[in-house]
Structure formats: C-alpha cells, structure tokens
C-alpha cells in the first residue's frame, strides 16, 4: 500500500475541499437536516431521536454515493486514472485515497450530528464506538458503489441524475428516520426489509436503532443485519476493485 499517496490525496481532496468550498459541506447537510426538521414537526418530536441517529447514517451514506460524480469526473474529464497507470499507485491505493477523502469531507456534518446527539443525551462510549464502526463500513460500502457506478458511466453528464435518484432511494426510503418495525409490522415486511437491505444504510440504521436503545434488541435480527452489512461491504468493494481497471477505459 502506498500510504503516503493515500494520506496526501485524502488531505488534498478531502480536508482541503472543506476550506476551498464550504458551500458543498452545507449542501451535503441540507437533505438530512431538512428531513430531521420535517420528522420533528410531523411527529411533534416523538421520532426526533431516530432522525438524529439516522441522519448521521444518511449523511455519510449519501456523501459516499454522490461521490460517484467526483469519481466519474476524475476518470473521464481529468483522466486521473490514466496518469497513475505507470506509477507506483495501484487501483486499491486510488480507491482507498478517494474513500478517505470522502470520509474527511463528512467530518463537519458528523460533528453537527454528534452535537445533536449530545443535546438529546444519545451518546455514551459504547454507542460512540458502534457508530464509528458503522460510519467506517458505510463509507467503504457506499464509496464502493460509487466506484461501480463511475466505472459504468460513459459520460459525466449522466452520472449526476443517477446518483441523485440513487441517493434518495438508498438513504431516505430505508428506515433511517423512522423505526424499522414500521416496515416489519406490515404484510410482506420481512421481504421488503431484505430488499431495502441492498442499501448498506438499511442494516446500519437497524443496528444503530438497537445500539442507541431506540428499539429493543432482537438478536436474530441484529446478527442478520451485521452479517448483511459486512458481506455487502466485501462484495461491493470486490466488484468495485474489479471494475476499476488500471488502463484507459
């Protein structure tokens, strides 16, 4: 692993972007914070804790998914991958560098949600560690999905519409802002929850609802969701690594 490249790239394309374009950070927060406000108003605050916990998951997952636009731009417009072909930078180095940069870009939003979580007395040491692990798995899995998308798109203009729709489907429709039991209690709920679990945000949200005491722990569901999230992360990363061909596409 070319650790120096990974960290340098993540610093320049992650933390430095926050300084160069703070408006992008604000834009990344608009959807989750707007939904949090809507949930607070419509439920008179009854589900606000779900929205705070799920909002962080939605934030990280949506940034990971929408990064497909950046990956496509770097590949097709800047031809950045072509520049690394003859270098010591491997496809894995490049993928990890971009993934870390997206995680770095998420930091301001994560801090906002940590503040909200503290205000609603949601966090303790164990919960914080579990959320950290979920964030890491989410950014890996959703960034892998973004690499898969960017590898298949033939023109930059096509990617923005794709990721906008996909981001809504994969981060807002899953039970991130509401109890997962609302789905399970309906006819065909078990099938629907597994279909939703194609999005890493779904198992992450259900695990978080257990961890933060928003739902009583059902261990069979917990173990299933942990397994789904881990398998999805590995599968998506494997597919993304295969599609990120280190030659001119």
Give the model's pLDDT for residue 221: 93
Among 83, 246, 65, residue whose Cα is nearest residue 150: 65
DSSP result, 26-40 = HHHHHHHHHHHHHHH
Q: What pLDDT, on a 0 to 100 scale, did the predictor assign at position 87?
A: 75
Mean pLDDT of 231-244: 89
Does residue 249 fall inside a structural domain?
no
Give, rounded to a whole angstrom, the gap between the first and last alpha carbons of the chain.
23
At 9 the pLDDT is 85
**Strand, coil or helix: 188:** coil
- Burial (Cβ within 10 Å: 0-12, 13-18, ≥19) of residue 56: buried
Q: What whole-number distance in Å separates Cα of residue 201 and Cα of residue 145?
A: 12
pLDDT in tens, 155-165: 888 888 888 88
pLDDT (0 to 100) of residue 108: 87
70: how many CB neighbours lie within 10 A of its CB? 19
Query: How many domains is the chain partitioned into structurally?
Result: 1
Looking at residue 245, its pLDDT comes to: 64
Report pLDDT for 163: 85
Report angle CA 28, 29, 34 to the nearest 5 degrees: 130
Separation CA 222–CA 206 (nearest Å): 8
In a domain, 157, yes or no: yes
Output the CA torsion 160→34→203→218 (10° steps). -170
230 domain residue, yes or no: yes
- pTM assigned to the model: 0.88
pLDDT greater at residue 24 or residue 134: 134
Per-residue model confidence (pLDDT) at position 231: 96
Domain membership flag for residue 136: yes
pLDDT at 235 over 90: yes
**Going by C-beta distance under 8 Å and a sequence separation of 6 or more, which residues neighbour residue 47?**
39, 40, 177, 178, 179
Quick one: pLDDT at residue 49? 92
- Residue 7 placed within a domain: yes
pLDDT at 249 over 70: no
* Tokens at 217, concatenated: 């722990």
pLDDT exceeding 70 applies to what percent of the chain? 97
Average pLDDT of the chain to the nearest whole number: 86
Residue 97 lies in a domain: yes
Q: Rank 11-20, 70-79, 172-181 by mean pLDDT and report only the highest.
A: 172-181
Rounded percentage of the chain residues whose pLDDT exceeds 90: 33
CB 215 within 8 A of CB 181: yes
Residue 166 lies in a domain: yes
pLDDT score for 6: 86
Domain membership flag for residue 35: yes
Is the predicted pLDDT of residue 212 greater than 90, yes or no?
yes
Q: What's the CA gap between 136 and 22, in Å, rounded?
A: 23
Question: Over the stretch 49-76, which tens digit does the pLDDT of each residue have?
Answer: 999 999 999 988 988 888 888 888 887 7
Q: Distance between CA atoms of 155 and 13, rounded to whole angstroms?
A: 22
Domain with 148, as residue range(s), is: 3-243
Residue for token digits 């406000």? 37
- pLDDT tens digits, residue range 93-128? 888 888 888 888 888 888 889 999 998 888 888 888
């Amino acid at each position: 692993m070319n650790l120096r490249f990974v960290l340098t790239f993540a610093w320049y394309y992650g933390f430095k972007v926050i300084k160069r374009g703070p408006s992008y950070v604000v834009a990344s927060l608009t959807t989750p914070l707007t939904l949090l406000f809507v949930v607070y108003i419509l439920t008179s605050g009854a589900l606000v804790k779900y929205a705070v916990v799920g909002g962080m998951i939605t934030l990280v997952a949506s940034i990971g998914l929408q990064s497909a636009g950046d990956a496509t731009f770097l590949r097709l417009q800047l031809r950045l991958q072509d520049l690394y072909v003859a270098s010591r930078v491997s496809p894995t180095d490049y993928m990890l560098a971009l993934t870390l940069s997206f995680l770095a870009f998420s930091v301001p939003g994560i801090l906002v949600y940590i503040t909200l979580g503290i205000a609603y007395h949601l966090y303790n040491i164990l919960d914080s560690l579990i959320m950290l692990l979920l964030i890491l798995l989410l950014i890996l899995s959703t960034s892998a999905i973004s690499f898969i998308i960017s590898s298949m798109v033939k023109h930059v203009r096509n990617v923005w519409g794709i990721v906008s729709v996909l981001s809504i489907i994969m981060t807002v429709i899953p039970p991130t802002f509401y109890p997962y039991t609302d789905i399970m209690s309906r006819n065909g709920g078990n099938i629907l929850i597994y279909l939703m679990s194609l999005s890493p945000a779904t198992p992450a949200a259900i695990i978080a609802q257990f961890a933060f005491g928003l739902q009583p722990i059902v261990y069979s569901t917990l173990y299933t969701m942990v397994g789904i999230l881990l398998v999805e992360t590995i599968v998506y990363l494997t597919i993304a690594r295969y599609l990120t061909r280190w030659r001119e596409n």
